[in-house]
Amino acid sequence: MKCIINRRAQFSASHRYWLPELSEAENAQRFGACVRAPGHGHNYVLYVSMEGDLDEYGMVLNLSDVKQVIKREVTSQLDFSYLNDAWAEFQQTLPTTENIARVIWQRLAPHLPLIRIQLFEHPELWAEYEGNNMEAYLTISTHFSAAHRLALPQLTLEQNSEIYGKCARINGHGHNYHLEVTIKGEMDSRTGMIADLVAFQKAVDDYVVEPFDHTFLNKDIPYFEKVVPTAENIAIYIRDLLQQPIREIGAQLHKVKLIESPNNSCEVYATEFVERQALAQRPVLAEV
């Protein structure tokens, strides 16, 4: 019987984004404040996911052994380090969040049956790596506040209340929405980046956060004049809004997760959008 187990670890380290082949001005233009010497630091949180069959003791692996492997191969070497100098891999490819996850995979793979490495640089930025050469995932978390009402215009208040409950009340209600946007792509072999992080954040801010924040979605966002702004529909709309802007920064949108409240969330994947677009563009053959 296959089972996935996860082990959490953490380390504190500093790093700097700087390419010696570029001038100071070129580095500053590409990496912004991250070029400042001697660097800046983070409290990294690492999740190591492993898969295997249960043994006679009901375990995939002894977690005490897993802890020691992670400590020996990763955290004892990286904790309180300057990452650029800690491992030779980071002298060739900068220690971005996604590249650190990749190199940690390489260090642990000979010892553990890995299926995923997840590395949090801070609670609003994390990367995932699954062993696919230079391909990785990068997620940013943000938020916006908005009100909405769940009601179909052709139904009465009583009918809408039967479907949507309190959410159908005339004046609506509000949420502090938390949004997670995940992109995927190939890391640059020199910068270690899937895409420019500033450009990624700007795309999400420009197309979602700024237009949606402090609005009444049904009235202020034209799309929701005809579409009921459930969490599911909001997430789908955000996904569709971000497809092209993410392509323009050189990455591919992977997933949108919308957390409406601590009790309710939904997530949609970009592959559904791509498949739908492909079907729409497929030529229709005439029947004979």
Catalytic residues: 167, 214, 260
Tokens of 176: 């502090």
CA distances from 238 to 40, 69, 124, 137 (A): 33, 41, 18, 18
Tokens of 116: 């995923």
Radius of gyration over every alpha carbon of the chain, rounded to an integer in angstroms: 23
DSSP 13-25: EEE----TTS-HH
Closest CA to 252 of 185, 186, 187, 197: 185
Alpha-carbon span 70 to 9, nearest angstrom: 8
Tell me the sheet residues that pair with 119: 46, 127
| 97, 182 contact by CB (below 8 A) | no
3-class DSSP assignment, residue 211: helix
